[in-house]
Structure 1
Amino acid sequence: MASNLRRLFGVTLGGLVLALMMACSPLKMLNALTPDGTFDKTEGIAYGDDPRQKLDVYVPRHPAANAPVVVFFYGGSWNSGSRSDYGFVGEALASRGIVAVLADYRLYPQVRYPLFLEDNAKAVAWTHEHIRQFSGNPQRLYLMGHSSGAYNAAMLALDPGLLGAVGLSPHDLSGWIGLAGPYDFLPIENPDVRPVFFWPNSPPQSQPINHVSHGAPPALLIASRDDNLVNPTRNTAGLAKKLREAGVPVRDFYFSRTGHATLVATLSRPMRGLAPVLDEVAAFVKDPPTQ
Protein backbone atom coordinates (compact mmCIF):
# COMPACT_ATOMS: atom_id res chain seq x y z
CA MET A 1 0.00 0.00 0.00
CA ALA A 2 2.76 2.43 0.95
CA SER A 3 4.63 1.79 -2.29
CA ASN A 4 1.42 2.33 -4.28
CA LEU A 5 0.84 5.64 -2.53
CA ARG A 6 4.39 6.74 -3.23
CA ARG A 7 3.97 5.80 -6.89
CA LEU A 8 0.69 7.70 -7.10
CA PHE A 9 2.23 10.74 -5.42
CA GLY A 10 5.16 10.62 -7.84
CA VAL A 11 2.86 10.49 -10.85
CA THR A 12 0.66 13.29 -9.47
CA LEU A 13 3.67 15.48 -8.71
CA GLY A 14 5.08 14.74 -12.13
CA GLY A 15 1.83 15.86 -13.73
CA LEU A 16 1.85 19.07 -11.70
CA VAL A 17 5.43 19.81 -12.74
CA LEU A 18 4.53 19.15 -16.37
CA ALA A 19 1.76 21.72 -16.11
CA LEU A 20 4.11 24.27 -14.54
CA MET A 21 6.72 23.58 -17.21
CA MET A 22 4.24 24.66 -19.85
CA ALA A 23 4.15 28.13 -18.29
CA CYS A 24 7.89 28.74 -17.80
CA SER A 25 11.32 27.48 -18.79
CA PRO A 26 11.17 23.69 -18.28
CA LEU A 27 14.83 23.21 -17.43
CA LYS A 28 14.92 26.17 -15.05
CA MET A 29 11.87 24.73 -13.29
CA LEU A 30 13.52 21.34 -12.85
CA ASN A 31 16.71 22.92 -11.54
CA ALA A 32 14.75 25.12 -9.13
CA LEU A 33 13.22 21.96 -7.66
CA THR A 34 16.56 20.15 -7.41
CA PRO A 35 18.10 19.84 -3.92
CA ASP A 36 21.77 20.63 -3.44
CA GLY A 37 22.50 18.54 -0.38
CA THR A 38 23.62 15.43 -2.25
CA PHE A 39 26.71 16.79 -4.02
CA ASP A 40 29.62 19.19 -4.03
CA LYS A 41 30.06 21.09 -7.29
CA THR A 42 33.17 22.51 -8.93
CA GLU A 43 32.18 24.62 -11.92
CA GLY A 44 33.72 26.36 -14.86
CA ILE A 45 36.77 24.15 -15.29
CA ALA A 46 38.46 24.78 -18.65
CA TYR A 47 39.37 21.76 -20.76
CA GLY A 48 40.36 23.93 -23.73
CA ASP A 49 40.97 27.52 -24.76
CA ASP A 50 37.54 28.38 -26.18
CA PRO A 51 34.96 29.94 -23.81
CA ARG A 52 32.61 27.05 -24.61
CA GLN A 53 35.20 24.46 -23.58
CA LYS A 54 34.30 24.30 -19.90
CA LEU A 55 32.82 21.68 -17.61
CA ASP A 56 31.34 21.22 -14.14
CA VAL A 57 32.01 18.31 -11.79
CA TYR A 58 29.37 17.00 -9.36
CA VAL A 59 30.83 14.84 -6.59
CA PRO A 60 28.60 12.84 -4.22
CA ARG A 61 28.56 14.47 -0.80
CA HIS A 62 29.99 11.27 0.72
CA PRO A 63 31.71 9.57 -2.22
CA ALA A 64 32.93 6.01 -2.10
CA ALA A 65 36.55 5.39 -2.93
CA ASN A 66 37.08 5.06 -6.68
CA ALA A 67 33.52 6.10 -7.54
CA PRO A 68 32.26 5.53 -11.09
CA VAL A 69 32.28 8.52 -13.42
CA VAL A 70 29.75 9.64 -16.04
CA VAL A 71 30.50 12.38 -18.58
CA PHE A 72 27.16 13.81 -19.73
CA PHE A 73 26.50 15.63 -23.01
CA TYR A 74 23.21 17.54 -23.38
CA GLY A 75 21.05 17.79 -26.48
CA GLY A 76 19.86 20.76 -28.48
CA SER A 77 20.29 19.87 -32.18
CA TRP A 78 23.98 20.80 -31.94
CA ASN A 79 22.99 24.48 -32.02
CA SER A 80 21.87 25.23 -28.46
CA GLY A 81 22.30 24.19 -24.85
CA SER A 82 24.29 24.89 -21.72
CA ARG A 83 25.65 22.69 -18.95
CA SER A 84 24.03 25.03 -16.42
CA ASP A 85 20.61 23.90 -17.65
CA TYR A 86 21.24 20.33 -16.55
CA GLY A 87 22.11 20.63 -12.89
CA PHE A 88 19.31 18.16 -12.17
CA VAL A 89 21.27 15.53 -14.13
CA GLY A 90 24.39 16.15 -12.05
CA GLU A 91 22.35 15.87 -8.86
CA ALA A 92 20.64 12.68 -10.03
CA LEU A 93 23.90 10.91 -10.78
CA ALA A 94 25.62 12.17 -7.63
CA SER A 95 22.67 10.97 -5.54
CA ARG A 96 23.47 7.44 -6.75
CA GLY A 97 27.16 7.66 -5.85
CA ILE A 98 28.35 8.61 -9.34
CA VAL A 99 30.78 11.44 -10.07
CA ALA A 100 29.15 13.46 -12.87
CA VAL A 101 30.94 15.66 -15.39
CA LEU A 102 28.73 18.02 -17.43
CA ALA A 103 30.55 19.55 -20.37
CA ASP A 104 29.77 22.43 -22.69
CA TYR A 105 31.05 22.23 -26.25
CA ARG A 106 31.09 24.44 -29.31
CA LEU A 107 27.86 24.60 -31.29
CA TYR A 108 26.66 25.56 -34.75
CA PRO A 109 27.21 28.07 -36.32
CA GLN A 110 30.58 28.38 -34.57
CA VAL A 111 31.46 24.83 -35.65
CA ARG A 112 30.04 21.97 -37.69
CA TYR A 113 30.57 18.22 -37.68
CA PRO A 114 32.99 16.85 -36.53
CA LEU A 115 34.48 19.73 -34.49
CA PHE A 116 31.96 19.53 -31.64
CA LEU A 117 32.91 15.86 -31.30
CA GLU A 118 36.54 16.89 -30.96
CA ASP A 119 35.47 19.08 -28.02
CA ASN A 120 33.64 16.14 -26.47
CA ALA A 121 36.75 13.99 -26.81
CA LYS A 122 38.86 16.66 -25.12
CA ALA A 123 36.37 16.80 -22.22
CA VAL A 124 36.65 13.02 -21.84
CA ALA A 125 40.46 13.24 -21.93
CA TRP A 126 40.41 15.92 -19.21
CA THR A 127 38.16 13.68 -17.13
CA HIS A 128 40.35 10.64 -17.60
CA GLU A 129 43.42 12.61 -16.51
CA HIS A 130 42.02 14.62 -13.60
CA ILE A 131 38.98 12.87 -12.15
CA ARG A 132 40.91 11.13 -9.35
CA GLN A 133 41.17 14.59 -7.76
CA PHE A 134 37.37 14.42 -7.42
CA SER A 135 37.16 10.87 -5.97
CA GLY A 136 36.39 9.38 -9.38
CA ASN A 137 37.94 6.28 -10.89
CA PRO A 138 39.06 6.76 -14.52
CA GLN A 139 38.92 2.98 -14.91
CA ARG A 140 35.14 3.18 -14.37
CA LEU A 141 34.43 5.84 -16.97
CA TYR A 142 31.09 6.10 -18.82
CA LEU A 143 29.68 8.48 -21.40
CA MET A 144 26.04 9.55 -21.41
CA GLY A 145 23.92 11.91 -23.46
CA HIS A 146 20.41 12.92 -24.38
CA SER A 147 19.22 13.53 -27.96
CA SER A 148 22.10 15.08 -29.93
CA GLY A 149 24.20 14.57 -26.81
CA ALA A 150 23.46 10.84 -27.04
CA TYR A 151 24.72 10.99 -30.62
CA ASN A 152 27.93 12.57 -29.33
CA ALA A 153 28.37 9.83 -26.74
CA ALA A 154 27.69 7.16 -29.36
CA MET A 155 30.24 8.56 -31.79
CA LEU A 156 32.97 8.70 -29.15
CA ALA A 157 32.19 5.14 -28.08
CA LEU A 158 31.97 3.70 -31.61
CA ASP A 159 34.43 5.68 -33.76
CA PRO A 160 37.95 4.93 -32.42
CA GLY A 161 39.47 7.89 -34.25
CA LEU A 162 37.74 10.47 -32.06
CA LEU A 163 39.16 9.33 -28.72
CA GLY A 164 42.34 8.22 -30.48
CA ALA A 165 43.05 11.86 -31.33
CA VAL A 166 43.34 12.63 -27.59
CA GLY A 167 45.35 9.56 -26.66
CA LEU A 168 42.44 7.41 -25.55
CA SER A 169 40.39 4.56 -26.99
CA PRO A 170 36.82 3.27 -26.70
CA HIS A 171 38.43 0.48 -24.67
CA ASP A 172 39.08 3.11 -21.99
CA LEU A 173 35.30 3.34 -21.51
CA SER A 174 33.37 0.98 -19.28
CA GLY A 175 30.24 1.73 -21.28
CA TRP A 176 27.99 4.43 -22.70
CA ILE A 177 24.36 5.48 -22.24
CA GLY A 178 22.10 7.00 -24.87
CA LEU A 179 18.74 8.66 -24.13
CA ALA A 180 16.56 9.26 -27.21
CA GLY A 181 19.59 9.45 -29.45
CA PRO A 182 19.70 9.92 -33.24
CA TYR A 183 22.06 7.23 -34.49
CA ASP A 184 20.88 6.74 -38.08
CA PHE A 185 19.32 9.89 -39.55
CA LEU A 186 20.38 10.30 -43.17
CA PRO A 187 18.94 11.89 -45.22
CA ILE A 188 18.44 14.70 -42.71
CA GLU A 189 14.86 15.96 -42.43
CA ASN A 190 15.26 18.56 -39.67
CA PRO A 191 16.12 21.90 -41.34
CA ASP A 192 17.90 23.13 -38.21
CA VAL A 193 20.26 20.14 -38.29
CA ARG A 194 21.00 20.08 -42.03
CA PRO A 195 23.75 22.73 -42.05
CA VAL A 196 25.50 21.09 -39.10
CA PHE A 197 26.20 18.05 -41.27
CA PHE A 198 26.76 19.78 -44.65
CA TRP A 199 23.41 18.75 -46.15
CA PRO A 200 22.83 17.55 -48.85
CA ASN A 201 26.38 16.16 -48.82
CA SER A 202 26.20 14.77 -45.29
CA PRO A 203 28.99 12.20 -44.89
CA PRO A 204 27.92 8.61 -44.12
CA GLN A 205 30.71 8.40 -41.54
CA SER A 206 28.78 10.94 -39.47
CA GLN A 207 26.31 8.18 -38.49
CA PRO A 208 27.00 6.15 -35.33
CA ILE A 209 25.32 3.06 -36.78
CA ASN A 210 28.02 2.94 -39.46
CA HIS A 211 30.77 2.60 -36.84
CA VAL A 212 29.49 -0.46 -34.99
CA SER A 213 32.14 -3.14 -34.58
CA HIS A 214 32.92 -6.06 -32.34
CA GLY A 215 34.71 -4.92 -29.19
CA ALA A 216 32.80 -1.66 -28.76
CA PRO A 217 32.00 -0.80 -25.14
CA PRO A 218 28.70 -1.99 -23.60
CA ALA A 219 25.70 0.23 -24.26
CA LEU A 220 22.48 1.19 -22.46
CA LEU A 221 19.93 2.64 -24.89
CA ILE A 222 16.69 4.19 -23.63
CA ALA A 223 13.93 5.78 -25.69
CA SER A 224 10.31 6.89 -25.51
CA ARG A 225 7.83 4.91 -27.57
CA ASP A 226 5.99 8.14 -28.45
CA ASP A 227 9.05 10.16 -29.43
CA ASN A 228 7.91 12.26 -32.40
CA LEU A 229 11.29 13.93 -32.94
CA VAL A 230 13.75 11.02 -33.06
CA ASN A 231 12.20 7.78 -34.31
CA PRO A 232 12.92 5.17 -31.62
CA THR A 233 12.43 2.19 -33.93
CA ARG A 234 14.95 3.33 -36.52
CA ASN A 235 17.45 4.83 -34.11
CA THR A 236 17.43 3.11 -30.72
CA ALA A 237 16.07 -0.28 -31.77
CA GLY A 238 18.08 -0.21 -34.99
CA LEU A 239 21.34 0.51 -33.22
CA ALA A 240 20.62 -2.06 -30.49
CA LYS A 241 20.04 -4.71 -33.16
CA LYS A 242 23.27 -3.90 -34.97
CA LEU A 243 25.25 -3.89 -31.71
CA ARG A 244 23.89 -7.33 -30.80
CA GLU A 245 24.70 -8.66 -34.24
CA ALA A 246 28.29 -7.48 -33.70
CA GLY A 247 28.44 -9.20 -30.30
CA VAL A 248 28.41 -5.96 -28.31
CA PRO A 249 26.62 -6.15 -24.93
CA VAL A 250 23.57 -3.87 -24.97
CA ARG A 251 20.42 -3.23 -22.96
CA ASP A 252 17.56 -1.27 -24.49
CA PHE A 253 14.39 0.03 -22.85
CA TYR A 254 11.32 1.84 -24.22
CA PHE A 255 8.95 3.81 -21.98
CA SER A 256 5.37 4.84 -22.72
CA ARG A 257 4.68 7.81 -20.44
CA THR A 258 7.50 9.98 -21.72
CA GLY A 259 8.31 11.94 -24.86
CA HIS A 260 11.55 13.11 -26.39
CA ALA A 261 12.16 15.93 -23.89
CA THR A 262 10.56 14.39 -20.80
CA LEU A 263 12.78 11.31 -21.06
CA VAL A 264 15.78 13.22 -19.73
CA ALA A 265 13.51 15.16 -17.37
CA THR A 266 12.74 11.88 -15.56
CA LEU A 267 16.21 12.13 -14.06
CA SER A 268 14.93 15.06 -11.97
CA ARG A 269 13.35 14.32 -8.62
CA PRO A 270 9.86 15.69 -9.49
CA MET A 271 9.62 13.61 -12.69
CA ARG A 272 11.08 10.26 -11.65
CA GLY A 273 7.66 8.70 -11.28
CA LEU A 274 7.18 8.78 -15.06
CA ALA A 275 9.87 6.21 -15.87
CA PRO A 276 12.74 4.43 -14.04
CA VAL A 277 15.44 5.98 -16.21
CA LEU A 278 17.73 6.83 -13.29
CA ASP A 279 17.32 3.32 -11.87
CA GLU A 280 18.39 1.78 -15.18
CA VAL A 281 21.34 4.15 -15.53
CA ALA A 282 22.54 3.43 -11.98
CA ALA A 283 22.14 -0.33 -12.47
CA PHE A 284 24.10 -0.19 -15.73
CA VAL A 285 26.94 1.80 -14.18
CA LYS A 286 27.07 -0.58 -11.23
CA ASP A 287 26.99 -3.72 -13.36
CA PRO A 288 27.32 -3.23 -17.14
CA PRO A 289 26.35 -6.21 -19.30
CA THR A 290 28.97 -8.58 -20.63
CA GLN A 291 28.86 -11.10 -23.41
Structure 2
Amino acid sequence: MPNKVYSLKAKLSSHLNVARQVYRDFRLYDLGSYALNRLTPKAGYNVEKHLAYGLKARQRFDLYRTAQPLTHRPLIVFVHGGAWMHGDKRDYQFIGEAFAREGYDVVIPNYHLAPEYIFPHYVDDLHLLLDYLQASSHRLQISVENIVLMGHSAGAFNVMSAVYYPKQHKSERLANIRAIIGLAGPYHFDYKDDPLCADAFDQSVPYQQVMPLYFVQPQPVKHYLFIAEKDTIVGHFNSHDLDRVLKQHGNHSHVISIPKLGHITIVGSLSSLFSRFFPTKSKVLWALEDAFK
Protein backbone atom coordinates (compact mmCIF):
# COMPACT_ATOMS: atom_id res chain seq x y z
CA MET A 1 0.00 0.00 0.00
CA PRO A 2 2.72 2.63 0.84
CA ASN A 3 4.33 2.02 -2.56
CA LYS A 4 1.01 2.57 -4.32
CA VAL A 5 0.39 5.79 -2.40
CA TYR A 6 3.89 7.02 -3.21
CA SER A 7 3.40 6.15 -6.89
CA LEU A 8 0.09 8.02 -6.97
CA LYS A 9 1.61 11.08 -5.31
CA ALA A 10 4.56 11.03 -7.69
CA LYS A 11 2.25 10.79 -10.70
CA LEU A 12 0.04 13.61 -9.40
CA SER A 13 3.09 15.76 -8.71
CA SER A 14 4.35 15.15 -12.24
CA HIS A 15 0.98 16.13 -13.73
CA LEU A 16 0.84 19.29 -11.63
CA ASN A 17 4.35 20.28 -12.68
CA VAL A 18 3.36 19.91 -16.33
CA ALA A 19 0.19 21.93 -15.74
CA ARG A 20 2.15 24.71 -14.03
CA GLN A 21 4.66 24.79 -16.87
CA VAL A 22 1.94 25.03 -19.50
CA TYR A 23 0.20 27.76 -17.51
CA ARG A 24 3.46 29.72 -17.40
CA ASP A 25 4.05 29.09 -21.10
CA PHE A 26 0.60 30.37 -22.03
CA ARG A 27 1.01 33.47 -19.88
CA LEU A 28 4.39 34.14 -21.48
CA TYR A 29 2.88 33.50 -24.90
CA ASP A 30 0.13 36.04 -24.16
CA LEU A 31 2.80 38.64 -23.47
CA GLY A 32 4.78 37.55 -26.50
CA SER A 33 1.79 37.62 -28.84
CA TYR A 34 0.89 41.09 -27.55
CA ALA A 35 4.39 42.28 -28.44
CA LEU A 36 4.30 40.47 -31.80
CA ASN A 37 1.00 42.08 -32.72
CA ARG A 38 2.20 45.53 -31.69
CA LEU A 39 5.20 45.16 -34.03
CA THR A 40 3.39 43.37 -36.86
CA PRO A 41 3.39 45.40 -40.10
CA LYS A 42 0.02 46.90 -40.98
CA ALA A 43 0.61 47.26 -44.75
CA GLY A 44 -0.11 44.71 -47.47
CA TYR A 45 -3.50 43.57 -46.20
CA ASN A 46 -6.86 44.76 -44.94
CA VAL A 47 -8.63 43.51 -41.85
CA GLU A 48 -12.22 43.44 -40.65
CA LYS A 49 -12.61 42.50 -37.00
CA HIS A 50 -15.30 40.91 -34.88
CA LEU A 51 -17.55 39.65 -37.66
CA ALA A 52 -20.37 37.37 -36.51
CA TYR A 53 -20.77 33.80 -37.75
CA GLY A 54 -23.34 32.92 -35.07
CA LEU A 55 -25.53 34.49 -32.42
CA LYS A 56 -23.33 33.89 -29.37
CA ALA A 57 -20.59 36.19 -28.11
CA ARG A 58 -17.68 33.84 -28.89
CA GLN A 59 -18.95 33.14 -32.42
CA ARG A 60 -16.94 35.92 -33.99
CA PHE A 61 -14.04 36.04 -36.44
CA ASP A 62 -11.48 38.44 -37.89
CA LEU A 63 -10.95 38.50 -41.66
CA TYR A 64 -7.59 39.42 -43.16
CA ARG A 65 -7.76 40.10 -46.90
CA THR A 66 -4.65 40.14 -48.99
CA ALA A 67 -3.99 43.31 -50.92
CA GLN A 68 -2.74 41.27 -53.88
CA PRO A 69 -5.14 41.57 -56.84
CA LEU A 70 -5.75 37.85 -57.33
CA THR A 71 -8.96 36.05 -58.24
CA HIS A 72 -10.13 32.90 -56.46
CA ARG A 73 -7.64 33.49 -53.66
CA PRO A 74 -7.20 30.49 -51.36
CA LEU A 75 -8.73 30.99 -47.92
CA ILE A 76 -6.91 29.93 -44.75
CA VAL A 77 -9.03 29.33 -41.66
CA PHE A 78 -6.66 29.43 -38.68
CA VAL A 79 -7.88 28.09 -35.32
CA HIS A 80 -5.94 29.04 -32.21
CA GLY A 81 -4.88 26.69 -29.42
CA GLY A 82 -5.01 27.00 -25.65
CA ALA A 83 -6.03 23.57 -24.30
CA TRP A 84 -9.66 24.38 -25.28
CA MET A 85 -9.79 26.66 -22.21
CA HIS A 86 -7.82 29.71 -23.25
CA GLY A 87 -7.02 31.93 -26.22
CA ASP A 88 -8.52 34.65 -28.35
CA LYS A 89 -8.40 35.61 -32.02
CA ARG A 90 -7.06 39.06 -31.13
CA ASP A 91 -3.76 37.45 -30.16
CA TYR A 92 -3.12 36.17 -33.69
CA GLN A 93 -2.92 39.27 -35.85
CA PHE A 94 0.62 38.18 -36.69
CA ILE A 95 -0.81 35.03 -38.30
CA GLY A 96 -3.25 37.03 -40.42
CA GLU A 97 -0.48 39.36 -41.54
CA ALA A 98 2.03 36.57 -42.23
CA PHE A 99 -0.20 34.83 -44.78
CA ALA A 100 -2.29 37.72 -46.14
CA ARG A 101 0.97 39.28 -47.32
CA GLU A 102 1.66 36.02 -49.17
CA GLY A 103 -1.58 36.25 -51.19
CA TYR A 104 -4.01 34.35 -48.96
CA ASP A 105 -7.17 35.57 -47.29
CA VAL A 106 -7.19 34.51 -43.63
CA VAL A 107 -10.07 33.91 -41.22
CA ILE A 108 -9.24 33.68 -37.51
CA PRO A 109 -12.24 32.75 -35.34
CA ASN A 110 -13.04 32.54 -31.68
CA TYR A 111 -14.91 29.52 -30.39
CA HIS A 112 -16.55 28.40 -27.17
CA LEU A 113 -14.17 27.39 -24.38
CA ALA A 114 -14.16 24.87 -21.57
CA PRO A 115 -15.11 24.25 -18.86
CA GLU A 116 -18.45 25.85 -19.69
CA TYR A 117 -18.46 24.25 -23.13
CA ILE A 118 -16.99 20.83 -23.81
CA PHE A 119 -16.52 18.63 -26.88
CA PRO A 120 -18.12 18.79 -29.41
CA HIS A 121 -19.18 22.44 -28.92
CA TYR A 122 -15.92 23.95 -30.14
CA VAL A 123 -15.88 21.71 -33.24
CA ASP A 124 -19.53 22.53 -33.90
CA ASP A 125 -18.50 26.21 -33.84
CA LEU A 126 -16.02 25.50 -36.62
CA HIS A 127 -18.69 23.72 -38.65
CA LEU A 128 -20.99 26.70 -38.15
CA LEU A 129 -18.21 29.04 -39.30
CA LEU A 130 -17.53 26.99 -42.45
CA ASP A 131 -21.22 26.97 -43.31
CA TYR A 132 -21.40 30.72 -42.76
CA LEU A 133 -18.37 31.44 -44.94
CA GLN A 134 -19.85 29.31 -47.69
CA ALA A 135 -23.18 31.13 -47.55
CA SER A 136 -21.67 34.62 -47.18
CA SER A 137 -18.66 34.47 -49.49
CA HIS A 138 -20.04 36.99 -51.98
CA ARG A 139 -20.85 39.57 -49.33
CA LEU A 140 -17.49 39.02 -47.60
CA GLN A 141 -15.68 39.20 -50.96
CA ILE A 142 -13.81 35.97 -50.37
CA SER A 143 -13.45 32.79 -52.38
CA VAL A 144 -14.41 29.54 -50.68
CA GLU A 145 -13.45 27.26 -53.56
CA ASN A 146 -10.07 26.45 -52.02
CA ILE A 147 -10.07 26.31 -48.22
CA VAL A 148 -7.12 25.35 -46.03
CA LEU A 149 -7.84 24.55 -42.39
CA MET A 150 -4.87 25.34 -40.16
CA GLY A 151 -4.67 25.11 -36.38
CA HIS A 152 -2.21 25.06 -33.53
CA SER A 153 -2.43 22.61 -30.60
CA ALA A 154 -6.10 22.37 -29.55
CA GLY A 155 -6.88 24.29 -32.73
CA ALA A 156 -5.17 21.55 -34.75
CA PHE A 157 -7.44 19.02 -33.06
CA ASN A 158 -10.43 21.18 -33.96
CA VAL A 159 -9.56 21.47 -37.65
CA MET A 160 -8.81 17.75 -37.93
CA SER A 161 -12.06 16.94 -36.12
CA ALA A 162 -13.92 19.25 -38.48
CA VAL A 163 -13.28 16.60 -41.14
CA TYR A 164 -12.99 13.40 -39.06
CA TYR A 165 -15.93 13.68 -36.72
CA PRO A 166 -18.28 11.24 -34.94
CA LYS A 167 -21.35 12.79 -36.56
CA GLN A 168 -22.28 12.72 -40.22
CA HIS A 169 -21.33 15.80 -42.25
CA LYS A 170 -23.17 17.88 -44.74
CA SER A 171 -21.42 16.86 -47.95
CA GLU A 172 -21.08 20.46 -49.14
CA ARG A 173 -19.23 21.45 -45.95
CA LEU A 174 -16.15 19.41 -46.87
CA ALA A 175 -16.30 19.79 -50.64
CA ASN A 176 -13.94 22.76 -50.86
CA ILE A 177 -11.44 21.86 -48.14
CA ARG A 178 -8.17 21.19 -49.95
CA ALA A 179 -5.76 20.77 -47.07
CA ILE A 180 -5.37 20.58 -43.30
CA ILE A 181 -2.24 21.93 -41.64
CA GLY A 182 -1.86 20.90 -38.01
CA LEU A 183 0.80 22.52 -35.82
CA ALA A 184 1.68 20.38 -32.78
CA GLY A 185 -1.75 18.81 -32.76
CA PRO A 186 -3.18 16.31 -30.22
CA TYR A 187 -5.08 13.84 -32.39
CA HIS A 188 -4.85 10.64 -30.37
CA PHE A 189 -4.60 10.84 -26.59
CA ASP A 190 -6.49 9.77 -23.49
CA TYR A 191 -7.90 12.86 -21.77
CA LYS A 192 -9.11 10.91 -18.74
CA ASP A 193 -8.15 12.99 -15.65
CA ASP A 194 -5.65 14.96 -17.77
CA PRO A 195 -4.48 17.93 -15.64
CA LEU A 196 -4.54 20.29 -18.62
CA CYS A 197 -7.67 19.51 -20.55
CA ALA A 198 -9.88 17.05 -18.67
CA ASP A 199 -12.51 19.79 -18.31
CA ALA A 200 -12.77 20.11 -22.09
CA PHE A 201 -14.20 16.60 -22.54
CA ASP A 202 -16.92 14.46 -21.04
CA GLN A 203 -14.96 12.18 -18.73
CA SER A 204 -17.58 9.45 -19.06
CA VAL A 205 -16.97 9.17 -22.83
CA PRO A 206 -13.94 7.08 -23.88
CA TYR A 207 -11.39 8.97 -25.96
CA GLN A 208 -11.83 6.40 -28.76
CA GLN A 209 -15.28 7.93 -29.33
CA VAL A 210 -13.84 11.44 -29.70
CA MET A 211 -10.32 11.48 -31.16
CA PRO A 212 -10.21 12.17 -34.93
CA LEU A 213 -7.81 9.27 -35.50
CA TYR A 214 -10.72 6.86 -34.98
CA PHE A 215 -12.94 8.52 -37.59
CA VAL A 216 -10.56 8.72 -40.54
CA GLN A 217 -12.22 7.97 -43.86
CA PRO A 218 -10.82 8.18 -47.40
CA GLN A 219 -10.67 11.87 -48.33
CA PRO A 220 -9.05 13.88 -51.15
CA VAL A 221 -7.87 16.39 -48.52
CA LYS A 222 -4.11 16.74 -48.13
CA HIS A 223 -2.73 16.56 -44.59
CA TYR A 224 0.42 18.28 -43.29
CA LEU A 225 1.26 17.37 -39.70
CA PHE A 226 3.85 19.66 -38.11
CA ILE A 227 5.85 18.50 -35.10
CA ALA A 228 7.87 20.78 -32.81
CA GLU A 229 11.11 18.94 -32.03
CA LYS A 230 11.27 20.27 -28.46
CA ASP A 231 7.56 19.83 -27.72
CA THR A 232 7.07 18.65 -24.13
CA ILE A 233 3.30 19.18 -24.10
CA VAL A 234 1.93 17.18 -27.05
CA GLY A 235 3.66 13.89 -27.78
CA HIS A 236 5.02 13.35 -31.28
CA PHE A 237 3.11 10.06 -31.38
CA ASN A 238 -0.08 12.07 -32.03
CA SER A 239 1.11 13.06 -35.50
CA HIS A 240 2.88 9.79 -36.26
CA ASP A 241 -0.16 7.70 -35.31
CA LEU A 242 -2.50 9.87 -37.37
CA ASP A 243 -0.09 9.83 -40.32
CA ARG A 244 -0.07 6.01 -40.23
CA VAL A 245 -3.88 5.73 -40.12
CA LEU A 246 -4.38 8.35 -42.84
CA LYS A 247 -2.07 6.43 -45.15
CA GLN A 248 -3.79 3.15 -44.30
CA HIS A 249 -6.97 4.71 -45.71
CA GLY A 250 -5.18 5.87 -48.84
CA ASN A 251 -5.11 9.52 -47.79
CA HIS A 252 -2.32 11.97 -48.42
CA SER A 253 -0.26 12.74 -45.31
CA HIS A 254 3.10 14.39 -44.71
CA VAL A 255 4.84 14.76 -41.33
CA ILE A 256 7.12 17.78 -41.01
CA SER A 257 9.41 18.19 -38.00
CA ILE A 258 10.59 21.68 -37.09
CA PRO A 259 13.90 21.63 -35.19
CA LYS A 260 14.74 23.56 -32.01
CA LEU A 261 11.20 24.79 -31.36
CA GLY A 262 8.70 23.90 -28.63
CA HIS A 263 4.95 23.69 -28.36
CA ILE A 264 4.36 27.44 -28.07
CA THR A 265 7.29 28.76 -30.08
CA ILE A 266 6.34 26.83 -33.22
CA VAL A 267 3.35 29.11 -33.78
CA GLY A 268 5.24 32.25 -32.74
CA SER A 269 7.89 31.45 -35.33
CA LEU A 270 5.33 32.07 -38.09
CA SER A 271 5.47 35.80 -37.33
CA SER A 272 7.14 37.93 -40.00
CA LEU A 273 9.42 39.19 -37.26
CA PHE A 274 10.93 35.74 -36.68
CA SER A 275 10.16 33.62 -39.74
CA ARG A 276 13.56 34.36 -41.29
CA PHE A 277 15.23 32.60 -38.36
CA PHE A 278 13.13 29.43 -38.40
CA PRO A 279 11.88 27.15 -41.20
CA THR A 280 8.27 26.99 -39.96
CA LYS A 281 6.72 29.58 -42.29
CA SER A 282 8.67 28.43 -45.34
CA LYS A 283 7.52 24.85 -44.68
CA VAL A 284 3.90 25.99 -44.31
CA LEU A 285 4.18 27.95 -47.55
CA TRP A 286 5.60 24.85 -49.22
CA ALA A 287 2.64 22.84 -47.90
CA LEU A 288 0.20 25.44 -49.22
CA GLU A 289 1.84 25.36 -52.65
CA ASP A 290 1.91 21.54 -52.61
CA ALA A 291 -1.76 21.40 -51.64
CA PHE A 292 -2.81 23.18 -54.83
CA LYS A 293 -0.67 21.23 -57.30
SS in 2 for 1:92: helix
CA distance in 1, matches of 2:271, 2:139: 27
Residue pair 2:76, 2:106 contacting (<8 A) in 1 also: yes
Q: Which of the numbers 119, 128, 142 marks the counterpart of 1:122?
A: 128
Name 1:159's counterpart in structure 2.
165
TM-score by length of 1: 0.85
Name 2:235's counterpart in structure 1.
231
Residue pair 1:38, 1:60 contacting (<8 A) in 2 also: yes
**Greater radius of gyration (CA):** 2
Q: CA RMSD in A?
A: 2.1
* Structure 1 residues 78-93: aligned runs within 5 Å: 78-93=84-99
Could you tell me how far 1:216 is from its partner in structure 2? 5.1
Could you tell me how far 1:215 is from its partner in structure 2? 2.0
CA distance in 2, matches of 1:131, 1:113: 28
Q: 1:176 to 1:25 in 2, by over 3 A?
A: same
Give the letter aligned to residue 265 of structure 2: T
Q: Which of the numbers 74, 86, 96 marks the counterpart of 2:102?
A: 96
* Structure 1 residues 29-68: aligned runs within 5 Å: 29-68=35-74
SS in 1 for 2:232: coil
> Which sections of structure 2, spanning at least 5 residues, go unmatched?
1-26
Could you tell me how far 1:45 is from its partner in structure 2? 0.7
Residue pair 1:68, 1:285 contacting (<8 A) in 2 also: no
Give aligned pairs, total: 267
Residue pair 1:194, 1:200 contacting (<8 A) in 2 also: no
TM-score by length of 2: 0.85
Could you tell me how far 1:160 is from its partner in structure 2? 7.4
Give the letter aligned to residue 194 of structure 2: N
Percent identical residues:
27
Q: Which of the numbers 133, 136, 142 marks the counterpart of 1:136?
A: 142
> Which sections of structure 1, spanning at least 5 residues, go unmatched?
1-20
Q: 1:228 to 1:200 in 2, by over 3 A?
A: farther
Return 193-202 or 47-56, whichever deviates more.
Answer: 193-202
Return 93-102 or 119-128, whichever deviates more.
Answer: 119-128
CA distance in 2, matches of 1:89, 1:40: 13
Could you tell me how far 1:154 is from its partner in structure 2? 0.3
Residue pair 1:170, 1:216 contacting (<8 A) in 2 also: no
1:54-86 CA-partner distances (Å, limit 9, x unpaired): 001000122411100011110001011100000
Return 33-42 or 270-279, whichever deviates more.
Answer: 270-279
* Structure 1 residues 142-291: aligned runs within 5 Å: 142-159=148-165, 161=167, 163-164=169-170, 168-188=172-192, 190-199=194-203, 201-215=205-219, 217-232=221-236, 234-288=237-291
SS in 1 for 2:87: coil
